[in-house]
Structure 1
Amino acid sequence: MKHWLIICLLLLAATGATAQYYLRGAVVDANGNGIYNVKIQVHSKGTIPYFTGTSGTFGIPLNNTSDSILLQADGYETLHTIAYTSSYQTFTLKFTAGATTITKKKLASLIPANEDMRTNLYQNGNETYTTLIENDFTKADQYPETGFALNINRASYSNIRRFIHMDMKVPADAVRIEEMLNYFNFNRQTPPTNNRFTCQTQLTQAPWNVQNRLLFINLQAPVLALDSIPPSNLVFLIDVSGSMDQPNRLPLLKEAFKMLVNNLRQQDTVAIVIYGGIVGTYLPPTSGIYKDSIKTAIEKLEAGGETPGEAALKTAYKLAESIYHKEANNRIILASDGDFNVGITSDKELEDLVIQHRQSGIALTCLGVGMGNYKDSKLEALAKKGNGNFAYLDNINEAEKTLVTEFTKTIYTIASNAYVTVHFNPDYVSKYRLIGFDNKKELVNDTTRELEGGEIGTGHAFRAVFEIETTGYFNDTIAANSSNNDIADLLLHYHSPVSNADNLLPFTAINNYRPFTMLDSSYKLASAVIMFGGLLKQSDLWQHYNWSDVFRIAKSAVNPNNYAEAEFLNLLEAANKLYIIPKKRKQKKERGF
C-alpha cells in the first residue's frame, strides 16, 4: 500500500510540473468591436504567431499562469502587455490616426535588389500601372533563401488581351507573369478534398536557354465540399459615375452581376451600394432567393456624375458590417474603372482607409473595367490591402469565367496570408531567378523584407517557376541517383479561416529532371505563357528567343477543345503581327508562323 502511495505522489508531482493553462480572451477596438486576424505573439512561444478569429477571440495554451504578449494589426497601434490565465482577458487596440496611418511596406517576393534594376517608361492616356522591377538572377551561396506571395489574381492576362485585340502594345508594367500563369488551369489531377495542400515539383530545361533549368512548383489548394460552402454576405459596390457610361463598363458589369445572382442560394445575402452623382444604399440586404428582384434593380442602374470613391468605400463597409456573420463569406465586390475623383483619391490614402477595415473579417474583391482612364494600380492595391482578390473584365466571357465558372475559387477563401519560402541547395544551384512576382520600384531597397501574403480560393491550382543556373560540377543523372538530390526545401505558410495559428507545410523539390521535349503538355503550355510575357516585357532578360519559338511550343501543347488555350494561340498570332519589326514580318511568315 505504501508503495502505491509513493507512486501516486510522484504522479501528482509530475502533473504539477507540466501543468497546462489556457489563455482566453478577445481583442477589440475602441468601440468594443472584435478585431479579426490580429497577430499575437507570446514570449514563451518564441516566434510562433497566433491570430484572433472572426469575432476577435483567441485561445492559447500556456505552461505558466501569465506571460508577455504582443498584439499587432494593420491600422491599429501595437500593444505589448502582460496576460493572465486566471481570467478572461480583453485587450483594446487604439486606431492609428487616419492620415498618419503607418503601414508596413510588403513585398511580392524576397529577391535582393540588383544594381542595374530599371524600368521602361510608356505613355497610355490616363491609365495607371504600378512601376515594377523585374527579378534578375540571385547568387544562391549568398542568398539561399527566397520567397513569394500566393494569390488568385489573374487580371493581367485579360488586360493584355484587351490591348492586343485593340492593336495596341502592352505597357511593360501591365505584364505580371505570375497572373498570366494563374489564368490557366494547368492541373491535370483532381484537387484534394482532405483539407490539405499538395505540392508537386518538376525540373526541366529552360526552352530559351538549354544550359539552364526550370523548376516548376505546383501547389494545389483543397476543395470545399458543396455542403460545407458557407453562406455569402455580399455587398456590390458599383461605380455608376459618368466615366462608366460606355458599353465595356457599366453595361458589362450589369450583365456580370446578373449572372452571379443566378447562382445565389437562399442562405446568401446581397446588398448594393452605388456611387456616382450620389452615394447610397441602392438595394438593402436581400436573400438570394429573390433573384428576379435583385436582377431588376441591377438592370435599372444608369451612369452619371462624379466618382466619390472614398465615401462609397465607407458606406459599403458600414453596410457589410451590419450584415456580418462570423461563419459567412463576408465580402465587398467593388466594380469600377478605378477613376476616383472626389474626396481622397491617392492610392496611399485609399489604402489606409481599407486597412482600417481589413481586420473586420470583410474581404474586398475588385473588378476592373474600361480603358483610357483605367486605374490598374489603384484597384490592385485596394484588393491586396483589403484581403481580397483582383480581376479585369474585358468582355462578357471573362465576366462569366470570373463570377460564374470560377466563382468559388474567386470568392471562397480557404487560406489567407499565404506565401512560400524556398531554401535552395547551393551544391546544385549557382544562381536562381524567380519568374514574375516583381516588386514595386519603390520597395526594392526596403529593409523590412516582409512578404505580403495573399488569399487562396477553394480548389485553386497555383504554379510558380524559377530559372536556375546549376553549379559547374553538378550532373543531372548523378544527382538524381545520389542520396542528397534535393534542389530546394519549400515551406508553405498560410492562415486558415478556422484556425488562429499560422500553418506551416514543408515540401521538398527533388531532382526529377526530364528533358523539355518529354514533359507533360501542361508544362510546355506554362513555358509558352512565360515566354509570351517575357516578349511583352521587352527587357534584356528575354533576349534568346522570338515569337516563332513561343508559337511552336504553344501549338504543341494547346488543347484545341479548350477555349482559353485555343484563344491563347490566336492571341500569340495577333501579338506577332503587332510587335514584330515590319521588315522581318515577311521572313517570319515564310517560316510558317
Structure 2
Amino acid sequence: MSIKRNIICAFAIFFIAVCCSRNSSMRGGDSLASPLMMSATDAREPGNIVINEMGMSDSVVEEMNTEEYSHIKENEFKDTVKEPLSTFSIDVDTASYSNMRRFITQNKLPPKDSIRIEELINYFSYAYPIPEDGVPFSRSMEVAECPWNNDNWLVKIGLQGYKIETKELPPMNLVFLLDVSGSMSSNQKLPLLKTAMGMLTGELRASDTVSIVVYAGAAGLVLPPTPGNDKSKILGAFNSLNAGGSTNGGEGIQLAYDVAAQNFIPNGINRVVLATDGDFNVGISSEGDLIRLIEDKRKSGIFLSVLGLGMYNLNDSMMEKLADKGNGNYAYIDTLAEAKKALVEELGSTLFAIAKDVKIQVEFNPNYVTSYRLIGYENRLLAAEDFNDDTKDAGEIGAGHSVTALYEVVPQGNLAQGGNVDSLKYQGERPLSAQSFSDEILTLKIRYKAPDSEVSELLSSTLPMPVKSINDTSTSFRFASAVAGYGLLLRDSKFKGNVSMELVKSLAMSARGEDRNGYRKEFIDLVDIARTLLEMRQP
C-alpha cells in the first residue's frame, strides 16, 4: 500500500474513531490515550490500521519515528576468583517502565534497548524495613533458588529510604523548564504536561517558590519567582502555554539555572525540573558543554530532574544522561495517573534527596559462589577503585525511595558461566583464606554522602546461608524476580533461561500483596498483553 493511500485511509478511520472514542486507560480512565485501541489480536488482522495520537497509521508514523535509545550490552557472568568485587551506582529512575507500558498498551513490543531492567524493578515499592539506626536508608538481603534456572541462585539486595510527609519537606525553590516547541503540541505532550503541573501546584506551600522558564525559538521567563500558595497565578501561567517553534533547550537550561541561583534556599530543595520530549536541536553548542553545565550546577547545590513526554521523537538516551549528571531522576509521563504518581504521591522521592553519590560494592565468597551476574544497571557500573573515591559521581536516593538490585549466582560445584578465557600461564589459582569458609555468601558495602556533604559514609552487611526455596521467600523477592523475568523476556536476553510469561504471572500473582494503588495489578495486565505480542512475533 502506498504512503498516500495509507494517509487517506488513516484519516478516514481516525474521524470515525473520534466519533465513537472511548477511554482505554488501564487505570480507571485518567489517561489522555489514543482514541482507538485494538486488542493485540485484532491489530494483526489483515487490513486493520491502528490510528495513533497523530491521526496517522503506524506504517506512516514509523517513517517519522526518531526515538533514540542507548545500546545496552547486558552484564555477563563474572568469575568470582578473578573478579570478586561488583561495584555500581544506584539508580532510582523509572522512565523505562512507563515507556514500556506506553508501547504495550499500544499493542507493540518496545525496542530492546528501551528496557532497563533495574528501572522496571525500581518502579515498584517493596516491603523493606524502615531505617532505625540513624542512617538514611535500611539494608536487607535475601537469597533463593533462581526461578528461571534451578541450578542457580538469585540474590536480592534492597535499600529503603526514610519517608517524609510533603508538609514536612524543606522549603522548595523549583524552576520548571518547559519545552513549548512545535514538537510538544500533541495531546500526550504539552496538554498532558499542563494538567500534570496543575496536580503538582496543589501540593505547593507558602514556603515554596516556583518559577517557569520556557524554551522554543527563544528562552523566556513566563513566571517570575512566585510563592507556592499563589496557586491562581501559577496555574494561570501554566494554562497560558502553547506549543510552537523550534527547540532551543540549551538557552532554556542556562536561564533556568540562573533563576534557580538567584532564589537559592540554603538547606532547602533547589531544583530545575525539565519537561520535554528530548528534541534538543539547537542551543548550547555541544552535548559535552551541556553536560558540563549541569555537572557544574550540581556542585553548587542545584539538581536537575527530567520528565519525558510523548512519542515518535522521544530522546530517551539524552534525558537519562542529563538527569544522571544533574543528581536527579528521570521519569516518563505517559498518563495522568503516572503524573500523579511522580508529582503528587512520590513528591518527596522525586524532589528531596536524603543521600547522594550512593555506591554499592558486593564481594562474593568464592567458597559458595563460582560466578555471578548483576541484572541490569549496565550504564551504572563503576570500577572497583571508584567505590572509595569520593570524587566519583553516583546516584541519589529520595525520601521514601526503595532501591532493589538482583544478582543471578552460580553456586560452587556448578560449572562457572561467562566468557571463554584461557587459563593464565603465570598466575595459578590462589588458595582460599580460612575466612572464606564461613557461612557468608557475600558482603555488601555501601558508600553514601549526606546531601550537603562531600565526604562519604560506609555501611557494611553480610548475607549468610542458607538458600531458600522460592516459595519461602518474601513477597518483595517474588515480585522483583517476576519483574526481572519480564524484562529478560522483553529484551529476549540470552540469560532468560526457562522464564516464561506464565512463570512471570504466577510469581507476580503470588506476591501482589496489598497493592494499594493498583500498580502490581496493572503489571499483571501488561504481562497478559505482552504474552500475546510475543506469541504473535514467533514465526
Q: TM-score scaled to structure 1, two decimals?
A: 0.73
Contact 1:344 1:350 in 2 (8 A): yes
- Matches of 1:278 and 1:473, distance apart in 2: 62
5+ residue gaps, structure 2, are: 1-61, 416-435
Match of 2:407 in 1: 466
Contact 1:193 1:223 in 2 (8 A): no
Contact 2:139 2:157 in 1 (8 A): yes
- Matches of 1:297 and 1:387, distance apart in 2: 27
Alignment counterpart, residue 532 of structure 2, candidates 568, 574, 577: 577
CA distance 1:394–1:465, change in 2 (3 Å): same
- Matches of 1:490 and 1:571, distance apart in 2: 33
CA shift, 1:224, in A, is 4.1
CA shift, 1:426, in A, is 0.9
- Matches of 2:362 and 2:133, distance apart in 1: 26
CA shift, 1:270, in A, is 0.2
Deviations 1:352-375 (A, max 9, x none): 232232211100000000100000
Deviations 1:506-544 (A, max 9, x none): 111222421001222221111110000000111212142
Alignment counterpart, residue 493 of structure 1, candidates 437, 447, 453: 447
CA shift, 1:305, in A, is 0.5
Q: Does 2:105 align with 1:165? A: yes
CA distance 1:190–1:146, change in 2 (3 Å): closer
Match of 1:35 in 2: none
- Matches of 1:123 and 1:242, distance apart in 2: 19
Aligned residue pairs total 454
CA shift, 1:438, in A, is 1.1
Match of 2:366 in 1: 426
Q: Does 2:243 align with 1:303? A: yes
Q: Which range moves more in the overlay, 562-571 or 549-558?
A: 549-558
CA distance 1:454–1:287, change in 2 (3 Å): same
Contact 2:136 2:355 in 1 (8 A): no
Contact 2:370 2:414 in 1 (8 A): no
Q: Does 2:262 align with 1:333? A: no
CA distance 1:561–1:202, change in 2 (3 Å): closer
Larger-Rg structure: 1
CA distance 1:569–1:402, change in 2 (3 Å): same
1:189-200 matched pairs, under 5 angstroms:
189-190=129-130, 192=132, 194-200=134-140
Q: Does 2:338 align with 1:398? A: yes
Give the aligned residue type for 2:487. G
Contact 2:482 2:505 in 1 (8 A): yes
Deviations 1:183-236 (A, max 9, x none): 011125445484442211111000001110011111112234767521000000
Deviations 1:442-465 (A, max 9, x none): x99999898641010012111111
- Matches of 1:445 and 1:153, distance apart in 2: 21
Q: Which range moves more in the overlay, 138-147 or 574-583?
A: 574-583
SS in 1 for 2:257: helix
Q: Which range moves more in the overlay, 261-270 or 146-155?
A: 146-155
* RMSD, matched Cα: 2.5
CA distance 1:180–1:452, change in 2 (3 Å): farther
1:373-392 matched pairs, under 5 angstroms:
373-392=313-332
- Matches of 1:255 and 1:318, distance apart in 2: 26
Contact 1:560 1:566 in 2 (8 A): no
SS in 1 for 2:238: helix
CA shift, 1:318, in A, is 0.7
Give the aligned residue type for 1:439. N
Contact 2:357 2:393 in 1 (8 A): yes
5+ residue gaps, structure 1, are: 1-121, 475-481, 585-593
- Matches of 1:582 and 1:313, distance apart in 2: 42
Match of 2:479 in 1: 525
Q: Which range moves more in the overlay, 136-145 or 191-200?
A: 191-200
**How much identity, in percent, do the aligned residues show?**
39
The structure carrying a bigger strand percent of its residues is: 1
- Matches of 1:500 and 1:444, distance apart in 2: 19
Give the aligned residue type for 2:409. I
Alignment counterpart, residue 416 of structure 1, candidates 352, 356, 370: 356
SS in 1 for 2:67: coil
1:92-131 matched pairs, under 5 angstroms:
125-131=65-71
Match of 2:496 in 1: 542
CA distance 1:498–1:352, change in 2 (3 Å): closer
Deviations 1:383-404 (A, max 9, x none): 1111111100011000000000
Q: TM-score scaled to structure 2, two decimals?
A: 0.80
- Matches of 2:538 and 2:109, distance apart in 1: 18
- Matches of 2:401 and 2:483, distance apart in 1: 18
Give the aligned residue type for 1:315. L
Contact 1:316 1:332 in 2 (8 A): yes
Deviations 1:5-47 (A, max 9, x none): xxxxxxxxxxxxxxxxxxxxxxxxxxxxxxxxxxxxxxxxxxx
Contact 2:91 2:118 in 1 (8 A): no
